[in-house]
Amino acid sequence: MRNFIKKMRDAGLVEDIERPVSTEFEAAKISAGTNKLVYLHNLDGHEAVMNLLSSRKALSVALGYDEKDIVKNLAKCDYNGKVTVKGSLGDIVKPADADLNSLPVLKHFPKDAGRYLTSGVVFSEYGGVVNASVHRMLVLDKNHLAARLVEGRHTHTLLKAALADGKKLPIAITIGTDPLVTFASCTRVPEGKEMPYAAELLGGEIELYTCENGVKVPEAEIVLEGFVTAEKAEEGPFVDITGTYDPIRPAPVIELTKMYVKKNAVYHGILPGGSEHKLLMGMPYEPKIYKSVAGVTTVRNVSLTTGGCGYLHCVVQIRKNTQ
């Protein structure tokens, strides 16, 4: 993530906030006011970023090619990058007892249920199946979270399999990883292909490290290790991509056992309903739409519009064969 921030800074796409900023509402307000990458130098005593990948320009910086070529190049990917397991995560970052109170977790809006992790990539493994996906997670106390796991999606499916065997689902949550890892984790790929896809986007290879519970993760500023349990807790209200509140639901509880935090770690927060949320939720569909429509006619480009919250309304540019 730090290498990407440097590239964005070199491109003049970083807004530095040197003054003290509160995790309660203030950081969210600053993020909402710009599409630039916001670097908070003093977020309640911590360094943090928001709007990390909040525009097509930012994604083009991450990928290394022009904005106009993003969709057609992503449509060519076949999720075949090389994934290498390098060793134990504890060998490069010293583990500590989990303590969410030591992190600058944000409360974004007045009616939110509480402080939420919004950028965490949840890595899970069970029965030989691996998955990586992004979920919102409500802080319950220093080592428990309530996670919104959509029924039928891969993380929820793995949890059901583990619970059916009378076990908890081992997971690890990365915060502050390379934005292309996050982008790949937000993409509907075949089962277990998130990290091969991330490797492909990163140039062909990605290195993973093994947590104590066996889950493998890429390098990140912060890694939270634990298990999804059979316990449920109320989760919500929470602002969704349309800017409206999602209702309260019972959600699985995550019990954290360890945390790995780099020295002077940079926290990453995503504004709910903001430009980064919309890009990560919607843009991974554009290559899929491109490939589908290309089976009918010549496609020049695809864009999920801001008017449709980056998710609900799509424009497809084609090359006409006849008038």
The secondary structure of residue 297, as a DSSP letter, is S
CA dist 256 and 222 (Å) reads 13
The answer to whether the CB of 21 falls within 8 A of the CB of 42 is yes
Question: Considering just the CA atoms, what is the radius of gyration of the chain in Å?
Answer: 19
Q: Which of 141, 165, 240, 246 is catalytic?
A: 240
Side chain identity, residue 106: L
Distances (CA, A) of 266 to 15, 37, 41, 47, 117: 15, 13, 9, 5, 14
240 part of the active site: yes
Alpha helices (runs of H) in the chain, residue ranges in sequence order: 2-10, 26-32, 56-63, 70-75, 154-164, 179-185, 194-201, 275-282, 286-294
Is the alpha carbon torsion for 122, 192, 58, 314 positive or negative? negative
Burial of 10 (0-12, 13-18, 19+ CB in 10 A): exposed
Burial of 298 (0-12, 13-18, 19+ CB in 10 A): exposed
The residues carrying an active-site annotation are: 240
